[in-house]
Amino acid sequence: MDFTDRFCRFFHRRLSRRARLYTEMVTTGALIHGPRGRLLAFDPAEHPVALQLGGSEPADLARCARMGEQAGYDEINLNCGCPSERVQRGAFGACLMAEPDLVADCVRAMRDAVSIEVTVKHRIGLDRVESYDFLAEFVGRVAAAGCSVFIVHARNAWLKGLSPKENREIPPLRYEVVHRLKRDFPDLVIVLNGGLRSHESALEQLQHVDGVMLGREPCDSPWMLSEVDPRFFGELAPVSSRFDAVDGMRDYLLRETAGGVPPRAVLRHMLGLFNGLPGARRWRRSLSDAALLAEVGASALDLALEQIQGQHANLLPS
């Protein structure tokens, strides 16, 4: 939430041709009653890209799934994993795991409405109840409604007492539960999410499941995405260096700012590009300097680039 917007996804696509990108969770109410065009907007370069929906009314979800398909998305994903209290007040997100029949109705309605894939993202349990049977029943009922892809965050969602950030850190990771789910449902596509900080750990999990989802790590350190195509798909990376990635963003940045988008909206997703390297702090400071952005606008990207290039001649594209 508040991060994987269309600007983020365009930048991440510069780093990997093959990774599937997901939108922020968009609620059905926002799509039906709000600025639909802005909420669904994305660049064709982002494909393959999935629209993640939040909601619990089958008819509304079906309507919004149709909007997503008409807008050109490749997948509709139903969020049954967000634990925030705001989302709970709307009776969707992780609390939907307690109502598998309702989730099944939602999936069935969306599958009847669209021809693209409908998937579900969820947790392995609610609160401190660690019953595998609870998880297996949820997956079984939703699968019977036509869902064949489950993205499983390998932690429980504690619905009271923890912030969303704490819910990503405090409930213990239990990868073995997701592994068991794959063994018990061999015909389903099971994708593991949660706590994956490196490609090594992701590749290890692929010995047990069909796919992995990287969440916070690529947002904090986006350069890791440049290894996705070589490591997971045996293909060359689309960029040869961090500077190549920056060059590929320049025209996009100029186009978007010419249309009225604040430079910061695009540049904030590039702050972590040089993380771990000398000059990274200066790079981040330059791209987030409100006074500088107000003065020079999109040119801040080139100014930041000039400051860091001298320290990394070995990283320049040949």
Catalytically active residues are 82
Please tell me the distance from the alpha carbon of residue 24 to that of residue 5, in angstroms, as a whole number.
6
> With helix as H, strand as E and coil as C, how does the chain read?
CCCCCHHHHHHHHHHCCCCCEEEEEEEHHHHHHCCHHHHHCCCHHHCCEEEEEECCCHHHHHHHHHHHHHHCCCEEEEEECCCCHHHHHCCCHHHHHHCHHHHHHHHHHHHHHCCCEEEEEEEEEECCCCCHHHHHHHHHHHHHCCCCEEEEEEEEECCCCCCHHHHCCCCCCCHHHHHHHHHHCCCCEEEEECCCCCHHHHHHHCCCCCEEECCHHHHHCHHHHHHHHHHHHCCCCCCCCHHHHHHHHHHHHHHHHHCCCCHHHHHHHHCCCCCCCCCHHHHHHHHCCHHHHHHHHHHHHHHHHHHHHHHHHHHCCC
